Amino acid sequence: MEESIKKTEALENAPQKYLAEKFHLPVHDLKEYSPLTLAYIGDAAYEMVVRTVLVRRANQQVNKLHKMAASLVSAEHQSKMVAVLEEVFTPEEQQVYKRGRNAKAATKAKNASITDYRRATGLEAVMGYLYLKGDYDRIVDLVEMALEKA
């Protein structure tokens, strides 16, 4: 049992450790990152999970995959996901979410309300925080919960 826990912990951080070693990246305290920086990387991490799920579910035309992915990564859909996930966020995730939601972005929402855009930014900040932390299981769990209920 103890050996499997150690193996799981090693696997969770494997991509982060690999990239850090390969590119000689310094280690930073995650609380030092701006919420918009967390949202920047979180957007990509969330989209990778969504795209992976879609591709693994069905080998379809790329145009169809793109349309499905675009609907799931839209600010409007992410805002709906927040409504589901706010109840299950840990206190740490709740704090990151609020920092992301309240951050003043230089860009404006193109196809979303300000409220949806800010809530989506908060969700992306959480995803970025978890990604940089190496907690991929939690990212997948949150996305799974949200996709089932949102």
Please tell me which residue in 43, 116, 137, 141 is annotated as part of the active site.
43
What range does the domain containing 139 cover? 29-149
Structural domain contains residue 111: yes
Length in residues, the chain: 150
**Burial (CB count <10 Å: 0-12, 13-18, 19+), residue 131:** buried
User: Quick one: pLDDT at residue 139?
Assistant: 97
User: In the prediction, which pLDDT does 44 show?
Assistant: 96
Backbone angles phi, psi at 112, to 5 degrees: -145, 160
**Residue 94 resides in a domain:** yes
| CATH number of the domain that residue 88 is part of | 1.10.1520.10
Would you say residue 13 lies in a domain?
no
**Number of separate domains in the chain:** 1
10-residue stretch averages of pLDDT, the chain, 150 residues long:
48 71 86 95 96 92 94 95 96 98 83 92 97 94 91
Question: Any long-range contacts for 67-73 (C-beta under 8 Å, 24+ apart)?
Answer: 72/147, 73/43, 73/46, 73/47
pLDDT at position 150: 74
Catalytic (active site) residue 43? yes
d(CA 42, CA 81): 15
Those residues with Cβ within 8 angstroms of residue 47's Cβ, 6 or more apart along the chain or in another chain: 69, 73
What pTM, to 2 d.p., does this model score? 0.88
